[in-house]
Amino acid sequence: MMSAVRSILCFDAMRAATRRSKGFSVADIATGDFRETEVRAYLRLCMARGAVEIVPERRTRAGRHVILYRAVDDLPPLLPPTDDEAPQVRKLLMARLVTRKRDADLAAKQSNMWTALRALRVVDARALAFHARTEDVQISTDTARLYLGRLFLSNYVSSGGDGYFRLSAAKNTGPFAVLAMHGLVVDLNLMRPVNVTAQPLLQHDDGRAA
């Protein structure tokens, strides 16, 4: 079975092949370190999770039609990492999320806010910004409000409609940050993107529920 680290590298190869041409075949990926059987197994997982789709066009090879695929997600569907793999998997995920200085700054802010939220459990945006900021990491109330909104949409926090948010005990997944960037919410404790399933919470300018 392909390891979690190898699944990330395999998906990188799929994304690179997608950028280079209209699509890739199994044979395009099953080169070098990747065996055809493990590529096919991982490809099935990617398709089941909607990260890869079949391209309508077909490629002809030795008189036979070859199915082409393309990667449509930015982050890979992960196979379960071992304890030994976990640090490297988190590092690889961070490298794919944090590609600019602006991303690094936002990741630092969200890491501080996640730590503060786990300590306080119930906060409004103003309190979260106050308790999460440090001398090196300055956080505005608006930044905290946006972060809480993304956590709300991902069911990490609930709101009673008074501008305060409560961290769900079931979603207190661990000390590593839950990052909301590039349209994704990625839990570095679970080492995967999480679904955004809740309805948007409409708010007044002061943070109260509309």
Whether 98-193 and 4-71 are alike in CATH topology: the answer is yes
How far apart (Å, rounded) are the C-alpha atoms in residues 149 and 141? 12
Domains in the chain: boundaries: 4-71, 98-193
pLDDT tens-digit profile of 59-106? 766 667 889 999 998 888 888 888 999 999 999 999 988 989 999 999
Q: What is the pLDDT of residue 60?
A: 65
Query: What's the mean per-residue pLDDT of the chain?
Result: 88
Average pLDDT over residues 34-54: 94
- Across residues 7-35, what is the average pLDDT? 91
CATH number of 4-71: 1.10.10
pLDDT in tens, 117-158: 999 999 999 999 999 999 999 999 999 999 999 999 999 999
Nearest to 4 by CA among 56, 48, 37, 45: 45
Give the pLDDT confidence score for residue 203 in this predicted structure: 41
**Contact of 66 with 60, CB cutoff 8 Å:** yes
At 100, the amino acid letter reads: R
Assigned CATH class of 98-193: mainly alpha
Asked if residues 118 and 37 have their Cβ atoms less than 8 Å apart, the reply is no
Cα 162-163-166 angle, rounded to 5 deg? 95
Q: Which of 2-11, 54-63, 69-78 has the lowest mean pLDDT?
A: 54-63
Residue 87: count other Cβ atoms within 10 Å of its Cβ.
10
Write the DSSP assignment of 183-199 as a string of letters. Answer: TEEEETTTTEE----SP
Handedness of CA 202, 172, 90, 101 (dihedral sign): positive
Q: What is the pLDDT of residues 149-191, one digit of tens each?
A: 999 999 999 998 889 999 999 999 999 999 999 888 999 999 9
What lies within 8 Å, CB to CB, of 95 at 6+ separation is none
